[in-house]
């Protein structure tokens, strides 16, 4: 809010002055974004709109709104099969060699519960926008796109960060809700397109739905073809790049028809692959015979490493 008073309460300083979601006067950041979004939607109900809402929740330090504190206190986290595990044989040198402690598991569980509670205010926000668009008859012509910024390793492979080559770090939810009035081929109910959709697809998708043509080259693809028909032809591989430039890789369909991931590290060149049909894979330090992904040979699948 700049220098205007009152100042916005930081996300990690919960201040829900009302038990009602999105109520005026709530300075908890998710509630404030909700109120501002509603003000935007109601100010002009005739002009086509684009609204981007990016709440910090759920994110560390995971402080929920007062009205949601303790809502998930009894939740027991489900641990991924790779929790506290490292690939074997030949584990990569950068993975911790010491197993995670019980204290780490307890902290991770508390963080998860708090994140779930923090996300309830996001649910309130989405519900309020949905109700507003329903009441003013714009819901049937509105496309919703839900996505997160990154995944997070909470003990998988003994890691606790968001930058790794494993699926848990770089896979995020990506949901598009497209009414039949906009996506003519859409059907009622949820459809898993089972395709490699990427965050770079958002911009060309919005442009296509709006009937606009980008005037500069775009990296992604419009999702409209698979929104209309989930069986439509789509990409078969994509590039993986970590922001710290330490990890580069490619994910795609190899010569044997299975889906693999091949990763190279800038410090020591090593390869790694996984399949979509089995949570098994391997590390390799020399070329191996077998299927190829692009020009990369894929080694036999011998150890868990997804």
**What is the per-residue pLDDT across 233-267, written as a single tens digit (0 to 9) for each?**
888 888 877 665 566 677 777 777 777 777 766 55
What's the pLDDT band for 110 if we cut at 50, 70, 90?
Answer: very high
* This model's pTM is above 0.85: no
Q: Are 172 and 202 in contact (CB under 8 A)?
A: no
Instruction: Spell out the residues 6+ positions from residue 58 whose beta carbon is closer than 8 angstroms to its own.
Output: 114, 115, 116, 118, 119, 122
Mean predicted confidence (pLDDT) in 229-234? 84
DSSP, res 296: E
Residue 56 has pLDDT above 90, yes or no: no
Alpha-carbon span 153 to 168, nearest angstrom: 6
Which of residues 32 and 19 earns the better pLDDT score? 32
Instruction: List the domains of the chain with CATH numbers.
Output: 29-177 (3.40.720.10), 236-306 (no CATH)
Run of H or E residues at 292? strand 292-293
Instruction: Assess contact for 290 and 298: CB atoms under 8 A.
Output: yes
Higher confidence at residue 185 or residue 178? Answer: 178
pLDDT one-digit tens code per residue, 162-181: 887 787 888 888 899 988 88
Taking each helix axis as running N to C, give the angle between helix 102-135 and helix 29-43, from 0 to 180 degrees, rounded to the nearest 10: 20
Distance CA 100, CA 103 (A): 8
**Exposure of 179 in the CB half-sphere (CA atoms within 13 A):** 11
Would you tell me how many other CB atoms lie within 10 Å of the CB of residue 134?
A: 12
pLDDT value, residue 104: 95
Pair type for strands 292-293 and 296-297: antiparallel
């Amino acid at each position: 809010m700049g220098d205007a008073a009152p100042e916005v309460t930081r996300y990690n300083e919960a201040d829900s002055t009302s038990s009602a979601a999105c109520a005026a006067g709530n300075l908890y950041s998710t509630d404030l974004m909700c109120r501002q979004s509603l003000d935007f939607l109601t100010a002009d109900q005739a002009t086509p709109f684009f609204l981007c809402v990016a709440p910090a929740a759920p994110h560390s330090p995971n402080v929920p709104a007062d009205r949601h504190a303790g809502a998930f206190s009894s939740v027991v986290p489900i641990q991924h099969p790779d929790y506290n595990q490292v690939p074997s044989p030949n584990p990569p040198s950068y993975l911790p060699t010491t197993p995670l402690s019980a204290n780490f598991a307890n902290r991770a569980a508390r963080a998860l519960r708090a994140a779930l509670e923090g996300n309830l205010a996001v649910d309130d926000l989405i519900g309020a926008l949905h109700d507003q668009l329903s009441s003013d008859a714009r819901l049937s012509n509105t496309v919703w796109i839900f996505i997160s910024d990154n995944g997070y390793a909470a003990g998988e492979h003994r890691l606790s960060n968001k930058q790794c080559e494993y699926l848990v770090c770089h896979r995020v939810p990506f949901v598009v809700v497209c009414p039949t009035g906009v996506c003519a081929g859409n059907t009622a109910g949820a459809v898993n397109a089972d395709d490699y959709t990427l965050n770079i697809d958002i911009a060309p998708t919005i442009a296509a739905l709006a009937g606009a043509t980008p005037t500069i080259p775009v990296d992604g693809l419009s999702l409209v073809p698979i929104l209309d028909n989930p069986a439509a032809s789509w990409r078969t591989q994509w590039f993986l790049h970590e922001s710290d430039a330490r990890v580069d890789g490619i994910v795609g369909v190899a010569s044997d028809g299975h889906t693999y991931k091949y990763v190279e590290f800038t410090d020591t060149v090593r390869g790694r692959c996984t399949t979509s049909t089995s949570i098994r894979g391997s590390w390799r330090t020399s070329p191996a015979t077998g299927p190829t992904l692009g020009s990369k040979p894929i080694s036999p699948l011998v150890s868990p490493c997804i």
